[in-house]
A and B are shown apart, each in its own frame.
Chain A
Amino acid sequence: MSIQTSGLGFVGQSVARIEDDRFLVGKGHFVADVQPEGGLHAAFVRSPFPHATITAIDTSEARRLAGVVAVYSGAELNEGTHPFVPFVASPGSYSPLYKPMADEKVRHIGDPVALVVAESRRVAEDAAELVIVDYDLLEGVGSIDKALAPGTPQLWERADGNTLHDHTDTYGDVDAVFAAADRVVTLTLDSHRQANQPMETRGTVVEVDPATGHLTIHNTSQGPHVLKWAIAAQTVSQGQLRSLWQFLRNTQRRKAFFAAAKEFRRSNAADLKKQDNAAMKGQLKKDRSLLKHLGQMGLGLLAKDDYPTVTSVDIGGGFGSKGPVAREDLPIAIAAMRLGKTVQWIEDRVENLSDGGQAREERFDVEMAVNEDGTMKGMRVDAIVDAGAYPSFPFGAHVLPGMWKVYMPGPYHVEAFQLRTRVVATNKGRVVPYRGPWANETFVRERAIDAVAAELGMTAADVRAKNMMTEHDAPSHFLTGPTIDETMSTRKTFDRALEMIDGDEIAQMKADAKARNHRVGLGIASYHEAAPGPPDFADAMSPGAGMLTKEDGRATVEADGRIVMYTSQVPHGQSHQTTYKQVVADEFGVSMDDVEINWGNTDKSQFSFIGTGGSRGGPLGAGVMRKTARQVKNQMLEVAADMLEASKDDIQILDGNIHVSGVPAHGLSFADVAGEVAKRTGVALGPVFSHAEKYEGVGNGGWSCATHVAVVDIDLDTGKVEIPKYLVVEDCGPIINPAIVDGQVRGGVAQGIGAVFYENTYYDDDANLLTTTYMDYLIPTAMEIPEIEIEHLETLTKGENDFRGVGEGGMIGAPAALTNAVSDALGIQVTEQYLPPSRILELAGVIDPD
């Protein structure tokens, strides 16, 4: 490893986790552990029906129950609030506005219609059962086919049927390329609904300062800044004029706002210029009320004196589901504000399985134009996403088309590509980002490549090899826009994977399996992902989107010499505390104990749209830690040079000792240097050195690449599948902490194995949910997940920060590799992603479908 480090060299080592010192002794601090004295507990009354009109709600009996503090109908809670508004407007899309609570209509099982606040959760649940809701039932829409069928009830009256988005992107001359190709291979691929299912459910504890009314919200959010502003904005109850008047007469705020706005326009000028307002115009054509709400919320925010603090210490996993603002966060905050008391809601598992986040129910009609020699010429895909009932805020199903259109052709050369995407509404739980939100583009492409190989009588590996880009393709651009640079190393991972597969061993396994009435198959999947991607990646998805993806960070050295770092990342299992300490300790030349990492408090961290997600924690999060630390170190070295009467260039820091090279005995401590500054400036407390910055990665770099190889062993008697071998060859650049990276890869693969063989959020055609407990939603256990072998490549760039993300990848490759392996084993082309044992035996021709 050639990464440049100073000091003690923690980067690159599997340093034991700092987090474990609290987790392993039971001292983690998760949202359910907050438990403020006298806090009240909330339970929602939720719709038992997929689709219905609410005709009446009677809360009187519930209110009378001892221990109940308040009962609110949905309409009562929505009073004076603003709806969730569309955040991502893509061309051809309409995104319905919706209030925090269901008040006129329910649109999925679990839709919240009333809220009980009581002395305990159990009493709140007792009372929730006493709330009487009258419904007029409507037909539930439980599938893509049903949503699109003529005459199907419409979920949103302003939409075109149940279609919320319909847009086609075309790259190259698709018709000509398809006409010239030797043949076109077609297949329809289906992926089923899955759920993120972190082991900790969502939760929020809203404390109200009795004197000021200030809200402190302990929450499981991956993106707490967005939650903070959503709660502040959506609870604005006064009119625009009043807000405007308050704002204008507050000279200080007015000046600060206009200065900030000017700075924002200046620093994002390029991105702002790129943005295309056509999408928003389309949205406004459907629903002009957006303008009114935006105006009221915007001016209301400007008039407000106080915004909530959102905070978290430990979060028990998220996988994307804790990124969007939970609808429930709003009503709980509103109840706390109205009651002036702490109110908490800890989601239970049934709630979580109903609306805690779902993803991946999608269908793809795929056409691959190829030549007889296996050359891929063109790709045409018609994709439909089942988005469920409510669009997640800020990111939900509407972001998928943008990702797919950039990624779909993957690391292969094609001359033309066309993608039609439709997003349809159904009476199901919300679609949220789920680890590797674009995983299905890999499923589609890699499955289709295997189908092409079978049709042409070639091996799947040969078709890949024939079409996959090599390092010699850099620098250039993908057909879909972004830059190809030296980090685009999928081919290297693919070649290494082929080297590591022992063909004779696999052939022997296949032969042995037949003797046992088993079938063995091997599947490959290769991909690249933006982690963080070159700057033009965000533009390729949505012009100007890059301004949302910068990462803020701040480094300080306090007057007593302590190094205190501030990140906008929100760890929920990724070991940020450990890895950032490694990076910063190396940068300063100190021990990890000398570094403090601050996270999870919106009062301390800078604004971030995303928080943790999108494999940002390594490249951008650690990158900005390193970059700001370097700046602060330089500030310190200036002072130290002065104190040591030496040139700055001659000074080095080793294990916290700042000294002239070769003269460690006459060194200074961080406290010495910081103390000197404190003395000079009279600042005895807080930071004496400080640097903050926005970071978007360095250079053109930032693809994370991998090839997965799965070997499955299928018992044709039972349809049960074992995975005797699973190999991941990945390249996320230089690795900060190998054990942590391995954990990310394996965890992602495990979720992919779960997706293919065990997990299905199952709705029937009328949108009744059949998987509401862990007896039915099957998370794989230690008995189902095999050992996963990992090979690391560490492609370097010329950039100063080479880290690339790795959190999503395992989940991107696994469904494709596994379905390819099953196809190989059974000698068929699998067209669905969910393969429970009964389906395996149907596909194998052992049993008939019922």
Chain B
Amino acid sequence: MKNPPFIYHRPESLAEALALLAEFGDDAKILAGGQSLLPVMALRLGRPDHVVDIGRIPELLTLDAGPSGTTIGALVRHAEAERSAAIATHAPLVAAAAPHIGHRAIRTRGTLVGSVAHADPAAEMPAVCLALGATMVAASVGGTRLIDAADFHEGYLTTALEPNEILTEIRLPAWPDDAGGAVVEISRRHADYALVGLACIIEVGDGSITGAALAFFGADSTPVRVADAEAVLVGRPPAESAFAAAAEIVSARLDPPSDIHGTANYRKHIAGVLTRRGLAEAAATIGVTA
């Protein structure tokens, strides 16, 4: 189980990297942390002619979390985000996701942006971005374009990125003062990819829910939000009855896949369970006990 041959490029700047992608396009794969790409190559399920290692590009190291929002560059590793006090404060949903992502040795190398670009439907970060309404920054030799998280993931391992583009950073909006968030999931073993997971946010004002985001992963070919369930929460007190109402809608709306690790019915069911658990946990982070 050895990697197939490829031509290796290690650009020193973003411009150089983009020029390589412009030249090789579909024949090239971007290597950052490598925790998704390398298994695929080892299994010879992927055999790019060119590998563009962006690991030494200083522009991509940005990690900037503050009250006005958070910017995560393409080389920010899960381990760095996990340890960052600024992320914990200003992007608590990212912090909540971190411990679920693989094992520590994977988080040492793997990048948040890489996980989003790889687009495994059972991964945490794409759903976190969807819940937060993140903006994806895609760069190419032609310039930079911004993509809404809602438009970014198009299917299984498929995104809106063009072959000549690099996802250079993810921008997260400011975390509201009165919001609680949680990332919950159920997996076969500890730290496996989720059978179903949920990244959720609730905002609470004057004793009732003023806004909610429920982004599920592992429940479809991309992360999905369930708008009806979010809507049913708004205006109700952050309590078990509201969460249960949302859970019921979630289980009815989702159309998850069936595989050897769990049936579709099972996934629908636990999506509801996770809705109740996730919302309760999110509420607890802002001192509301359901």
Q: When A and B assemble into the complex, do they touch directly, with CB atoms less than 8 Å apart?
A: yes
Other-chain contact of B265, A121, A758, A848 (Cβ < 8 Å): A848
Other-chain contact of A129, B44, B193, B264 (Cβ < 8 Å): B44
Q: Which 10 A-B pairs have the closest CB atoms?
A: A838-B266, A783-B190, A122-B2, A348-B1, A850-B263, A717-B273, A838-B262, A847-B265, A838-B263, A847-B269
* CB-nearest residue of chain B to A719: B266
Asked whether A718 lies within 8 Å of B273 as measured between CB atoms, the reply is yes
Q: Interface size (A, Cβ < 8 Å)?
A: 36
| CB proximity of A119 to chain B, nearest CB, Å | 12
* C-alpha spacing A122/B193, complex, angstroms: 29
B3 at the interface (CB under 8 A from A): yes
* C-alpha spacing A842/B258, complex, angstroms: 14
Residues of B within 8 A of A773 (CB): 43
Residues of A within 8 A of B195 (CB): 837
Residues of A within 8 A of B193 (CB): 775
A770 at the interface (CB under 8 A from B): yes
Binary B-proximity of A710-731 (CB < 8 A = 1, otherwise 0): 0000000111100000000000
A98 at the interface (CB under 8 A from B): no
Residues of B within 8 A of A778 (CB): 188-189, 192
Classify the interface of chain A: helix, strand, loop or mixed: loop
- 8 Å CB interface, A766-781 against B: 770-771, 773, 775-776, 778, 780-781
Asked whether B265 lies within 8 Å of A837 as measured between CB atoms, the reply is no
User: Which residues of A are in contact with B by a Cβ distance under 8 Å?
Assistant: 120-122, 125-126, 129, 348-350, 717-720, 758, 760, 762, 770-771, 773, 775-776, 778, 780-781, 783-784, 836-838, 841-842, 846-850
Given contacts A718-B270, A847-B269, is CB(A350)–CB(B262) below 8 Å? no
Asked whether B5 lies within 8 Å of A126 as measured between CB atoms, the reply is yes
* CB-nearest residue of chain B to A764: B260
- 8 Å CB interface, B166-212 against A: 186, 188-193, 195
Residues of A within 8 A of B273 (CB): 717-718
* C-alpha spacing A841/B44, complex, angstroms: 37
User: Which residues of B are in contact with A by a Cβ distance under 8 Å?
Assistant: 1-5, 43-44, 186, 188-193, 195, 258, 260-266, 268-270, 273
Asked whether B260 lies within 8 Å of A762 as measured between CB atoms, the reply is yes
| CB proximity of A797 to chain B, nearest CB, Å | 43
Residues of A within 8 A of B3 (CB): 122
| CB proximity of B76 to chain A, nearest CB, Å | 25
| CB proximity of B269 to chain A, nearest CB, Å | 5
Asked whether A836 lies within 8 Å of B190 as measured between CB atoms, the reply is no
* CB-nearest residue of chain B to A122: B2
Residues of A within 8 A of B5 (CB): 122, 126
Residues of B within 8 A of A776 (CB): 260-261
Asked whether A847 lies within 8 Å of B188 as measured between CB atoms, the reply is no
* CB-nearest residue of chain B to A848: B265
Other-chain contact of A850, B2, B189, B265 (Cβ < 8 Å): B265
| Sample of 20 more A-B contacts, CB < 8 Å, known A717-B270, A783-B190, A836-B262 | A121-B2, A122-B5, A125-B4, A125-B44, A129-B44, A760-B260, A762-B260, A770-B260, A775-B193, A780-B189, A783-B191, A836-B188, A837-B188, A837-B195, A837-B262, A841-B266, A841-B269, A847-B263, A847-B266, A847-B269
* C-alpha spacing A718/B2, complex, angstroms: 38
Q: List 5 A-B contacts (CB under 8 A).
A: A126-B5, A350-B43, A770-B260, A781-B190, A784-B189
* C-alpha spacing A771/B259, complex, angstroms: 11
* CB-nearest residue of chain B to A770: B260
Asked whether A850 lies within 8 Å of B44 as measured between CB atoms, the reply is no
Asked whether B260 lies within 8 Å of A850 as measured between CB atoms, the reply is no
Residues of A within 8 A of B1 (CB): 125, 348-350
